[in-house]
Structure 1
Amino acid sequence: MIDQGLEHRSAAVTEMPDELRRDVRMLGSLLGQVIAEQGGEDLLADVERLRKAVIAARRGETSADEIASMVSAWEIDRAVEIARAFTCYFHLANLAEEHYRIRSLRRRDTDDAVQRESLAHAVQELGRQRVAELVRDLELHPVLTAHPTEARRRAVATAIRRVSHQLTEFNTPGRGASERDEAKRRLLEEIDLLWRTAQLRNTRLDPLDEVRTAMAAFDETLFRMVPQVYRSLDAALHDGTGAPLARPFIRFGSWIGGDRDGNPNVTAKVTREAIQIQAEHVLTALENACSRIGRTLTASAQFAPASAGLTAALAASVDHHPDLVSELATRSPREPHRQWLLFVAARIAATRRRDLDLAYRGPGELLADLRLAQDSLAASAPRQAYGELQHLIWQVETFGFHLAELEVRQHSQVHAAALEEIRAGGELSERTEEVLATIRVIAWIQDRFGVDACSRYVVSFTRSADDIAAVYELVAHALGGRPLALDVVPLFESGADLANSPRVLTGMLDIPQVQERLAAGGRRMEIMLGYSDSAKELGPAAATLRLYEAQEQLTAWAAAHGVKLRMFHGRGGALGRGGGPANRAVLAQAPGSVAGRFKVTEQGEVIFARYAHMAIARRHMEQVANAVLLASSAAVGARTAAAAERFRPLAERVARASEEAYRALTEAPGFPEWFALVSPLEEIGSLRLGSRPARRGLGAPRSLDDLRAIPWVFAWAQTRVNLPGWYGLGTGLAAVDSLEELQAAYAEWPLFNAMLDNAEMSLAKTDRSIAARYLALGGRDDFTERVLEEYDRTRTLVLRVTGHKRLLENRKVLSRAVQLRDPYVDALSHLQLRALTVLRTGEPSDHERDRLSTLLLLSVNGVAAGLQNTG
């Protein structure tokens, strides 16, 4: 059975903790039972044959050719069922690892030890007074985006959550035998349903589907996680009595339903509906929380008397809403705080229903009512004042009535074309009318939910200050001169644009509307740095250094112009798009560029990897907050600056040589066509991953400019090459004569350390022998040889510089995860290769082509589940 695959003698298994091994084996055994029941023992036997073959291949006991022969001998429908089996296995293995990680986090969270990379650890490192000072300016701003990198259907994700719940029930300590038997029966039932659930979407997601998918993370995790993080900080700052010292420092943003760059499906109507969905969810959550707290506040007036202010407010509420208040007083006699909180909950419900007689006009009014109760309780019942009620206050301060600030993004060329039409004075095109309608929707959102709900407009491919001024000119046309509180945010993506960014900002200072926004906002300005396109253009090493240099220049520019600059990092999930551990990325930023503020995109599979479970979400947020506090301290900044100064010439040699090697490959004649042949690039568009088209224009890409960064990275991950995460780095490292200097840079400079560690992770997820089979499909031996030679060079030199004997030697958990999954990813890769080979080189009938496409897409789905950070 599949669970017995863990018996092969790899380093992953020998290092696997017993409890993780137990969960994976049990889940695999139950899946094997389901497969045998639904598909027959012969299907399970074929799954086992392939499993054993790929394990043997890893040991050198069989060849890839033998595996290819086995796979090609199966009927296509049988191969499809086998692909489904391995994909389901990955979902269950991921789940088991998640549960083990949660248990490990809880074990490390002991009373006698401060957990590393936590808020308490930051206080220990920097001191309470310094952290209390830094917290005044601390702001973490994750922005959820709908970039199409989450390959799972929402139905599959929901089925996995049900399996997760039953696994928790099964593993809960103290369960009796009958309770464990029942939990195992339910586990089998849910795994059976997961097997029966179609892995592929029949229809493409529309933008509002994406909004609703993201709401699951809010409903299940984010709303409850935020006050826990604040409480962790408060506990580290003082003894927990009296008013909290921690202030709310997390703000969420969202591009889902607002990002229309290259996505014609995101319209003004969609943006309006997106904010309404968000408001419905947050108001429901606030109402439920307030009702729950109100019902528990049963303190009698004898022991917790109401303050004069609360007494007066209750009396006034009787005058305005006598029936409601009378009912509450009857249900809660002599319990003034309970009456008040239930009255507040009723007002939140009225806000959600748009009952204007009872509704709050904004979150400020709600906060005033909650603080009225808190101040009243503080005199006689401080634990109740600063307990759950404080959590609710923090939630209102964090989420408001809009949940997350909805940001709009559009391409600068769209604005230029719209202005050209408007200035010409003729009939406006549908696209230009849509641009104007979007601005009017922003104004409507601000009127309905407040300025904080939607006040940022990101301009892709900003090349000059004119691109920013164009948006403000469009605002004037759309609103007829009515004012709009709008910060237009330039997005710098290409290498040239990053280098030019300070000049653009200087030009922006001459725009009257920018001057007004700076004056109104305390000289605060936001700019966005794009990791995806810069990496696709320059290669991973050169892009890393170019982004760092841009941050240095922008930090110096801000200091010279008296501007408080916040840099918005457009990082993707995959290593080729700026991915990797977020806390390490923060510490690798240029000195002075963080200054207590970190704003970053969170997308696709990353949202669910980081925010699907409370313990993991809280740990992630604490790690990032810890890194922001440390990176904002003078001591850490000085160390980083000294290392950057010492190793800058070395890094420039690495970047220059790596970029030359990268461009020599990607800009070579015929490379885009070759890439389309050796990867499932064309078919990825059929996966219906999201509402946004995979590329600009139609047909095969004629250049990489035609191709968006996400499918570029996603397709390379499928080929097991992972080229965007490492290509060119080996040539770059080889350009430096001194290994000792490279090793010193790795040890002392966080940027260089993170760059090599991320490349090492990407190399570890590369399989050379399978990659060679994909590359051979393109019929260009020169390209294949160049890629494999650079892989060998990069792998060798990365290991020399890091001093590791094997990839990921110093990252035990990740190494175990990769090695555990590798054989099963291999199985799916061989199934995918069978389909891709026939589709590229054969002449299948229409029916065969349809079934082969299904096989290919199922394998794409499964490989994505196995590799995890793919897009």
Structure 2
Amino acid sequence: MLGEQLGRVIEDYGGAGLLKDVETLRRSVIRARDADVHERKTEAIVASWPVERAEEVARAFTVYFHLVNLAEEHHRARVLRERDGRGPQPESLAATVAELQRKHGRSRLMEMLSCLEVHPVFTAHPTEARRRAVVTAIRRVGEQLNRLEDPRSSDAERREAMRRLTEEIDSLWRTGQLRTSQVTPLDEVRSIMAVFDETLFRVVPEIYRSLDWALGPSDAGLRPPLAPAFLRFGSWVGGDRDGNESVTSTVTADTITIQAEHALLAFEAATTRIGRAITVDAATTPPGRDLRRRLAALRAAAPERWAEVEKRSPAEPHRQFLLHIADRVRSTRTGAGEAYRSSSELIADLRCVQVSLAGGGAPRQAYGELQHLIWQAETFGLHLAELEVRQHSAVHARALDELRAGQAPSASTRDVLSTLRTIAALQARFGSEVCRRYIVSFTRGVDDIAAVYELAEQAGGKPPVLDVIPLFETVEDLRAAASVMEDMLGLAPVRRRLDKTGRSLEVMLGYSDSTKEVGPLPATLALYDAQTELTAWAVRRGIRLTMFHGRGGALGRGGGPANRAVRAQAPGSVAFRFKVTEQGEVIFARYGNAAIARRHLEQVASAVLEASTAATRSEPGARFAGLAQEIGSAALAAYRALVETDGFAEWFARVSPVEELSRMRIASRPARRTKGNALDDLRAIPWVFAWSQMRLNLPGWYGLGSGLDAARLEDLRRAYASWPLFNVMLDNAEMSLAKTDRRIAARYLALGDRPDLAARVLAEYDLTKKNVLAVTGHTRLLEKHRVLSWAVELRNPYVDALSHLQLRALRALRAKGTSSRERSHAERLFLLTVNGVAAGLQNTG
């Protein structure tokens, strides 16, 4: 249906000729999957069009993928709703707590839930290639789809919804797909706010309510809740300044202001709505002692004002106090009047009303919508998400060197000190939870942690409360992680925080850079070993250790299904706590739709509970340690033989669109850490993004084939059957291979004039595919994932169309003698195809 409406819109816009050209290319790329002659015909078709027509065709395929993604999202949400009506789904919290109670008993289950923490962190370097205007236009199309699918709609309403649907698709077609200015950090902040406003603020209490019902269905909503508020959200958006000079201390302060504005507006609206609805009379529901005391104090402090309140809500003390809370929330937002200094103050006021209602014989009012609001306050605080600051260890080292030498501080050092003062000021206004975690990227030793604490003392004013978190990103640093954590215990600021937090510490493990450094298989094994060593260290030292997983959306950056990733962690490392980055297009894919967001968070929470129980803490990894060493060494040798070949970085720049991508206005963060052209300077995100645009997905599988080739097939099959880490790793590689297109990739590789490197890459792809199929026992890729396999096969030819258009654009951009007008059109065509390929592949970076 959506495709038909898009066809009408295209024809209305560009006439039958444009629609014919789109259809000609569509049929040609489908035929090209079976015969090389059609591949050459496809190239000829694409080359024959004026660049303006090529842009229009690229727009058509890009908008098509936006609509396909929307249709799939709506289908998933509909299926989830239908399944929910048939009882608890597998991997839901309701199903998981029932199973855990059966195995471990009620008392142990409640202990587990009291320890549960799931902590997604939205990051500041997205690969979300769509403009916000495009996202909004897609959302409007979705609203009309909902109206069409609503069984309560009349025929007239459906006709109007269909008319509006076509109108919104027309608007999407006419909306500019490309950004005209560089994205700023605050643009990224505002983009993320949509997820909180439109999804998470509503979904979070629904998750808690579902869990509460599962724990006590007979009296749910009539008693104090059994479900704890186990979700916490964090953000690096506006706080991550590693290699991004655009993120200043002013940006960080503005970020918290924006976040708080959204949170406080939501709390103000919810409190006002609930206050107006709770009209229970003092005669039927007498207020409790604490509420009477608070009301008396308010009356004494402002008798005239409170007389007006009592006049509007006579004999309705609960309503009066709730509307007073709404006024305080408003004052917190505007800075005028009596503001809340922390979320704990807000929660205390809400609980006062709740206790009074319950004591007055109105448990439904006490534990209904009011409980939802309390859960939201416990989860989001006054600031929506904790803003985490990240900076590179080398920046801190330079700052300390300057200060110790008595030099005038450089701009970089001034910003470090200003950032620390800003954190202190934000904590004074919103409480320490607003911005407490400080990530040190490329931590090499304990001095990198001590530097932040020393700088905080020298920043001026009262130092902020900080939990400085080491981020280990290279294989060498991962191996040293436990040793560095041990050294951290010798730092006085760390010991003071341990006393305050019940001996809690956090460590971050970087997936992206380790994978770029040594390849997917050795990096996965190094991360697993680091988790194992850190878990043992924490047990020895009595530390409550949270491991923060810096995973990307793409498979080459630790991506893949999050719930399966949880189960594949080293035994004992989860311990009822799971913290993970959510990056790029994954944020909107997982949290843009309410039903999908709820399912995702429940699956992750369920996996955390299951992975943390004693029954699952066996150690298959120890049994396969020799195998892991064998295949890891072979995979590392193959990967390094490729990336350490003389001229590899220059070849990669020619065969990939990485240099062109670095000029895109996708994110505020530069593609390179420095202005150099070495491979080490290139960030992991554009590295993965470029390979995905080439349709090769090399970071997700390269070296794996050689690694598997070094071991006996029987041993590999045993590991696949009984070791979750190995099973998940191969399944993710299988997905990455399925999304690779060898034919299209070969055309990109031919741009490099290094047939030796091109042949090596394609040979490793063939070897990896052969060995993965042999180990899994599958006859074709994604054989056990019928729906996903069908979706990939259906999408691939349409992505091919965009890849051919992208190759044309790249050749034009790199050709000598190209006029400024031709270059401008070629750049537009290139950027359109990047958007389209990203939409078609879905997990890009």
Superposed pair shares fold, TM > 0.5:
yes
Alignment of 1:295-334 (within 5 A): 295-334=276-315
Identify if the C-alpha distance between structure 1 residues 467 and 61 changes in structure 2 by more than 3 Å, giving closer, same or farther: closer
Alignment of 1:526-545 (within 5 A): 526-545=506-525
After superposition, the C-alpha distances for 1:656-707 in whole angstroms (9 at most, x for unaligned) are 11111011101111111111111111111222111110112336x23x2010
Q: Is the 8 A contact 2:421 2:463 kept in 1?
A: no
Task: Return the letter of the residue paired with 1:443.
Answer: A
Identify if the C-alpha distance between structure 1 residues 650 and 194 changes in structure 2 by more than 3 Å, giving closer, same or farther: same
Match of 1:134 in 2: 112
Tell me which of 196, 212, 215 is aligned to 2:174.
196
Q: Is the 8 A contact 2:208 2:229 kept in 1?
A: yes
Match of 2:381 in 1: 400
Q: Report how far residue 303 of structure 1 moved.
A: 2.6
Match of 1:817 in 2: 791
Identify if the C-alpha distance between structure 1 residues 847 and 248 changes in structure 2 by more than 3 Å, giving closer, same or farther: same
Match of 1:30 in 2: 5
Q: Is the 8 A contact 2:341 2:431 kept in 1?
A: no
Q: How many residues are matched?
A: 837
Structure 1 stretch 329-338 or stretch 70-79: which is displaced more? Answer: 329-338
User: Does residue 510 of the first structure (1) align with residue 490 of the second (2)?
Assistant: yes
SS at match of 1:694: coil
User: Does residue 105 of the first structure (1) align with residue 77 of the second (2)?
Assistant: no
User: Does residue 171 of the first structure (1) align with residue 149 of the second (2)?
Assistant: yes
Q: Report how far residue 830 of structure 1 moved.
A: 0.7
Q: Report how far residue 842 of structure 1 moved.
A: 5.6
Q: Is the 8 A contact 2:471 2:508 kept in 1?
A: yes
Distance 2:107 2:608 in 1: 16
Distance 2:366 2:238 in 1: 38
SS at match of 2:35: coil
Match of 2:420 in 1: 439
Match of 2:574 in 1: 594
Structure 1 stretch 153-162 or stretch 376-385: which is displaced more? Answer: 376-385
After superposition, the C-alpha distances for 1:17-69 in whole angstroms (9 at most, x for unaligned) are xxxxxxxxx11111111111111110110000000111112243853111101
Structure 1 stretch 97-106 or stretch 221-230: which is displaced more? Answer: 221-230
Alignment of 1:45-194 (within 5 A): 45-60=20-35, 62-111=37-86, 113-127=87-101, 128-194=106-172
Distance 1:389 1:308 in 2: 19
Q: Report how far residue 602 of structure 1 moved.
A: 0.8
User: Does residue 355 of the first structure (1) align with residue 336 of the second (2)?
Assistant: yes
User: Does residue 223 of the first structure (1) align with residue 201 of the second (2)?
Assistant: yes
Match of 1:726 in 2: 701
SS at match of 1:566: strand
Alignment of 1:183-582 (within 5 A): 183-239=161-217, 240=220, 241-356=222-337, 358-379=338-359, 380-479=361-460, 482-582=462-562
Task: Return the letter of the residue paired with 2:19.
Answer: L
Q: Report how far residue 800 of structure 1 moved.
A: 1.3
Tell me which of 681, 701, 714 is aligned to 1:706.
681
Distance 2:390 2:536 in 1: 27
User: Does residue 682 of the first structure (1) align with residue 659 of the second (2)?
Assistant: yes
SS at match of 1:541: helix
Q: Is the 8 A contact 1:410 1:459 kept in 2?
A: yes
Q: Is the 8 A contact 1:677 1:840 kept in 2?
A: no
Q: Is the 8 A contact 2:657 2:690 kept in 1?
A: yes
After superposition, the C-alpha distances for 1:63-105 in whole angstroms (9 at most, x for unaligned) are 3111101110111111011000100000000000000000010
The share of aligned pairs that are identical, in percent, is: 62
Distance 2:109 2:131 in 1: 42
Q: Report how far residue 324 of structure 1 moved.
A: 4.3
Identify if the C-alpha distance between structure 1 residues 61 and 459 changes in structure 2 by more than 3 Å, giving closer, same or farther: closer
With normalisation by structure 1, the TM-score equals 0.95
Tell me which of 638, 661, 666 is aligned to 1:661.
638
Q: Report how far residue 330 of structure 1 moved.
A: 2.7
Match of 1:20 in 2: none
After superposition, the C-alpha distances for 1:478-500 in whole angstroms (9 at most, x for unaligned) are 136x3431111100000000001
Distance 1:729 1:204 in 2: 38
Q: Report how far residue 148 of structure 1 moved.
A: 2.9
Distance 1:708 1:402 in 2: 30
After superposition, the C-alpha distances for 1:316-336 in whole angstroms (9 at most, x for unaligned) are 222223444333333333322
Match of 1:864 in 2: 838
SS at match of 2:390: strand
Distance 1:636 1:248 in 2: 25
Q: Report how far residue 651 of structure 1 moved.
A: 1.9
Instruction: Kindly report the root-mean-square deviation, in angstroms, between the aligned alpha carbons of the 2 structures.
Output: 1.3
Distance 2:530 2:524 in 1: 10
After superposition, the C-alpha distances for 1:696-719 in whole angstroms (9 at most, x for unaligned) are 2336x23x2010000000000000
Distance 1:221 1:174 in 2: 23
Q: Report how far residue 365 of structure 1 moved.
A: 1.8
Structure 1 stretch 122-131 or stretch 790-799: which is displaced more? Answer: 122-131
Identify if the C-alpha distance between structure 1 residues 821 and 774 changes in structure 2 by more than 3 Å, giving closer, same or farther: same
Q: Is the 8 A contact 2:635 2:706 kept in 1?
A: yes
SS at match of 1:686: coil
Q: Is the 8 A contact 1:102 1:616 kept in 2?
A: yes
SS at match of 1:63: helix
SS at match of 1:215: helix
Q: Which runs of 4+ in 1 moved over 6 A?
A: none
Alignment of 1:727-806 (within 5 A): 727-737=702-712, 739-806=713-780
Distance 1:383 1:749 in 2: 48
SS at match of 1:489: strand
Unaligned runs of 5+ residues in structure 2 are: none
Q: Is the 8 A contact 2:112 2:576 kept in 1?
A: yes
Q: Is the 8 A contact 1:325 1:343 kept in 2?
A: no
Q: Report how far residue 426 of structure 1 moved.
A: 2.0
Distance 2:632 2:735 in 1: 19
SS at match of 1:819: helix
Q: Is the 8 A contact 2:420 2:463 kept in 1?
A: no
Q: Is the 8 A contact 1:56 1:62 kept in 2?
A: no
Distance 1:653 1:327 in 2: 79
Distance 1:63 1:781 in 2: 24
Q: Report how far residue 645 of structure 1 moved.
A: 1.8
Unaligned runs of 5+ residues in structure 1 are: 1-25
Identify if the C-alpha distance between structure 1 residues 815 and 129 changes in structure 2 by more than 3 Å, giving closer, same or farther: farther
Distance 2:731 2:24 in 1: 36
Match of 2:671 in 1: 694
Match of 1:10 in 2: none
SS at match of 1:117: coil
SS at match of 2:228: coil
Distance 1:833 1:544 in 2: 33
Distance 2:70 2:529 in 1: 40
Task: Return the letter of the residue paired with 1:752.
Answer: F
Q: Is the 8 A contact 1:200 1:687 kept in 2?
A: no
Q: Is the 8 A contact 1:143 1:254 kept in 2?
A: yes
Distance 1:580 1:758 in 2: 6
Q: Is the 8 A contact 2:347 2:374 kept in 1?
A: yes
Q: Report how far residue 841 of structure 1 moved.
A: 5.2
With normalisation by structure 2, the TM-score equals 0.97
Q: Is the 8 A contact 1:122 1:131 kept in 2?
A: no
Q: Is the 8 A contact 1:131 1:629 kept in 2?
A: no
